[in-house]
Structure 1
Protein backbone atom coordinates (compact mmCIF):
# COMPACT_ATOMS: atom_id res chain seq x y z
CA UNK A 1 0.00 0.00 0.00
CA UNK A 2 1.12 3.58 -0.58
CA UNK A 3 2.53 5.72 2.22
CA UNK A 4 0.64 8.90 1.27
CA UNK A 5 -0.84 9.35 4.73
CA UNK A 6 2.58 9.27 6.43
CA UNK A 7 4.14 11.56 3.81
CA UNK A 8 1.31 14.11 3.92
CA UNK A 9 1.20 14.13 7.71
CA UNK A 10 4.94 14.84 7.80
CA UNK A 11 4.58 17.68 5.26
CA UNK A 12 1.65 19.27 7.09
CA UNK A 13 3.41 18.89 10.44
CA UNK A 14 6.45 20.80 9.18
CA UNK A 15 4.22 23.48 7.66
CA UNK A 16 2.32 23.93 10.92
CA UNK A 17 5.52 24.12 12.97
CA UNK A 18 6.81 26.87 10.68
CA UNK A 19 3.64 28.90 11.23
CA UNK A 20 4.03 29.04 15.03
CA UNK A 21 5.43 32.45 15.87
CA UNK A 22 7.12 31.54 19.16
CA UNK A 23 9.31 28.90 20.72
CA UNK A 24 7.68 25.66 21.75
CA UNK A 25 8.87 22.56 23.56
CA UNK A 26 6.35 20.04 22.27
CA UNK A 27 4.38 19.62 19.09
CA UNK A 28 2.06 16.78 18.18
CA UNK A 29 0.06 16.23 15.02
CA UNK A 30 -1.79 13.10 14.00
CA UNK A 31 -4.76 12.03 11.94
CA UNK A 32 -8.10 12.38 13.68
CA UNK A 33 -10.49 9.42 13.76
CA UNK A 34 -7.99 6.72 12.83
CA UNK A 35 -9.24 3.17 12.49
CA UNK A 36 -7.55 -0.05 13.49
CA UNK A 37 -8.56 -3.16 11.56
CA UNK A 38 -7.95 -6.66 12.86
CA UNK A 39 -8.51 -8.48 9.55
CA UNK A 40 -4.87 -8.12 8.42
CA UNK A 41 -5.86 -6.47 5.12
CA UNK A 42 -4.65 -3.10 3.87
CA UNK A 43 -6.96 -0.19 4.64
CA UNK A 44 -6.87 3.58 4.47
CA UNK A 45 -6.03 4.51 8.09
CA UNK A 46 -8.40 7.46 8.36
CA UNK A 47 -12.05 7.09 7.56
CA UNK A 48 -14.19 10.14 6.90
CA UNK A 49 -17.34 10.73 8.85
CA UNK A 50 -20.56 12.35 7.74
CA UNK A 51 -22.44 14.30 10.38
CA UNK A 52 -26.16 14.65 10.01
CA UNK A 53 -28.93 16.07 12.14
CA UNK A 54 -32.66 16.40 12.00
CA UNK A 55 -35.49 17.88 14.01
CA UNK A 56 -38.55 15.72 14.48
CA UNK A 57 -42.05 17.09 14.64
CA UNK A 58 -44.32 16.71 17.62
CA UNK A 59 -47.72 15.08 17.24
CA UNK A 60 -49.29 18.52 16.88
CA UNK A 61 -46.99 19.29 13.91
CA UNK A 62 -44.73 21.81 15.62
CA UNK A 63 -40.97 21.19 15.63
CA UNK A 64 -39.35 19.67 18.68
CA UNK A 65 -36.99 21.87 20.67
CA UNK A 66 -33.88 19.72 20.17
CA UNK A 67 -32.19 18.30 17.11
CA UNK A 68 -31.06 14.70 16.89
CA UNK A 69 -27.40 14.40 15.85
CA UNK A 70 -25.68 11.35 14.38
CA UNK A 71 -22.51 10.39 12.51
CA UNK A 72 -21.83 7.63 10.03
CA UNK A 73 -18.31 6.50 9.14
CA UNK A 74 -17.18 5.47 5.70
CA UNK A 75 -14.35 3.10 4.87
CA UNK A 76 -12.36 4.23 1.86
CA UNK A 77 -11.13 1.56 -0.52
CA UNK A 78 -8.91 3.93 -2.51
CA UNK A 79 -6.24 6.29 -1.20
CA UNK A 80 -7.70 9.80 -1.42
CA UNK A 81 -4.25 11.22 -2.30
CA UNK A 82 -2.94 8.93 -5.05
CA UNK A 83 -5.96 6.77 -5.89
CA UNK A 84 -4.25 3.45 -5.17
CA UNK A 85 -6.65 0.56 -4.64
CA UNK A 86 -5.96 -0.79 -1.15
CA UNK A 87 -7.49 -4.14 -2.04
CA UNK A 88 -5.81 -4.65 -5.44
CA UNK A 89 -3.52 -7.39 -4.08
CA UNK A 90 -6.52 -9.34 -2.80
CA UNK A 91 -8.05 -9.65 -6.28
CA UNK A 92 -5.21 -11.93 -7.45
Structure 2
Protein backbone atom coordinates (compact mmCIF):
# COMPACT_ATOMS: atom_id res chain seq x y z
CA UNK A 1 0.00 0.00 0.00
CA UNK A 2 1.50 3.31 -1.06
CA UNK A 3 -0.77 5.53 1.05
CA UNK A 4 -0.94 4.62 4.77
CA UNK A 5 -3.39 7.44 5.42
CA UNK A 6 -5.93 8.77 2.92
CA UNK A 7 -4.52 12.31 3.03
CA UNK A 8 -0.87 11.26 2.61
CA UNK A 9 1.20 12.42 -0.33
CA UNK A 10 3.61 9.91 -1.89
CA UNK A 11 6.96 11.67 -2.28
CA UNK A 12 8.61 11.18 -5.67
CA UNK A 13 12.05 11.92 -7.08
CA UNK A 14 13.91 11.25 -10.31
CA UNK A 15 14.77 7.68 -9.26
CA UNK A 16 11.14 6.74 -10.02
CA UNK A 17 11.42 7.68 -13.73
CA UNK A 18 12.85 4.84 -15.82
CA UNK A 19 14.18 7.16 -18.53
CA UNK A 20 16.44 8.83 -15.97
CA UNK A 21 19.25 6.40 -16.67
CA UNK A 22 22.72 6.88 -18.07
CA UNK A 23 21.98 4.72 -21.12
CA UNK A 24 19.07 6.98 -22.21
CA UNK A 25 20.23 10.08 -24.10
CA UNK A 26 18.79 13.18 -22.41
CA UNK A 27 19.39 15.20 -19.26
CA UNK A 28 19.95 12.74 -16.42
CA UNK A 29 19.75 13.85 -12.78
CA UNK A 30 20.47 12.15 -9.49
CA UNK A 31 19.16 9.99 -7.98
CA UNK A 32 19.23 7.76 -11.07
CA UNK A 33 16.45 5.30 -11.95
CA UNK A 34 16.02 2.58 -9.33
CA UNK A 35 14.24 -0.59 -10.51
CA UNK A 36 12.13 -0.90 -7.34
CA UNK A 37 11.09 2.75 -7.56
CA UNK A 38 10.38 2.42 -11.29
CA UNK A 39 8.00 -0.48 -10.56
CA UNK A 40 6.15 1.60 -7.95
CA UNK A 41 6.01 4.59 -10.29
CA UNK A 42 4.50 2.46 -13.07
CA UNK A 43 1.76 1.40 -10.62
CA UNK A 44 1.16 5.02 -9.63
CA UNK A 45 1.01 6.09 -13.29
CA UNK A 46 -1.55 3.34 -13.92
CA UNK A 47 -3.57 4.59 -10.93
CA UNK A 48 -3.39 8.10 -12.39
CA UNK A 49 -4.68 6.85 -15.75
CA UNK A 50 -7.88 5.59 -14.10
CA UNK A 51 -8.34 8.66 -11.90
CA UNK A 52 -7.19 7.31 -8.53
CA UNK A 53 -3.98 9.36 -8.13
CA UNK A 54 -2.89 12.82 -9.28
CA UNK A 55 0.43 14.67 -9.24
CA UNK A 56 0.84 17.50 -6.72
CA UNK A 57 2.00 20.88 -7.98
CA UNK A 58 2.43 19.88 -11.63
CA UNK A 59 0.43 18.55 -14.56
CA UNK A 60 2.12 15.20 -15.17
CA UNK A 61 3.52 12.38 -13.05
CA UNK A 62 6.79 12.55 -15.03
CA UNK A 63 7.41 16.11 -13.84
CA UNK A 64 6.35 15.25 -10.30
CA UNK A 65 9.12 12.65 -10.24
CA UNK A 66 11.77 14.69 -12.04
CA UNK A 67 11.06 17.79 -9.91
CA UNK A 68 10.99 15.91 -6.57
CA UNK A 69 7.30 16.56 -5.99
CA UNK A 70 4.59 14.12 -4.90
CA UNK A 71 1.32 12.53 -5.87
CA UNK A 72 -1.85 12.05 -3.87
CA UNK A 73 -5.14 10.20 -3.96
CA UNK A 74 -8.03 11.80 -5.83
CA UNK A 75 -11.53 11.78 -4.33
CA UNK A 76 -12.18 8.50 -6.16
CA UNK A 77 -8.85 7.11 -4.96
CA UNK A 78 -9.76 8.10 -1.43
CA UNK A 79 -13.07 6.24 -1.76
CA UNK A 80 -11.32 3.05 -2.90
CA UNK A 81 -8.65 3.48 -0.22
CA UNK A 82 -11.38 3.48 2.44
CA UNK A 83 -13.08 0.42 0.90
CA UNK A 84 -9.75 -1.40 0.84
CA UNK A 85 -8.92 -0.38 4.41
CA UNK A 86 -12.32 -1.67 5.58
CA UNK A 87 -11.86 -4.82 3.44
CA UNK A 88 -15.15 -4.20 1.65
CA UNK A 89 -14.00 -5.44 -1.76
Same fold (TM over 0.5): no
Structure that is richer in helix per residue: 2
| Coarse TM-score class (shorter-chain normalised) | under 0.3
Give the structure-1-normalised TM-score.
Answer: 0.23
Comparing both chains, which one has the higher relative contact order based on Cα–Cα distances under 8 Å and sequence gaps of 6 or more?
2
- For the pair shown, the structure with the greater C-alpha radius of gyration is 1
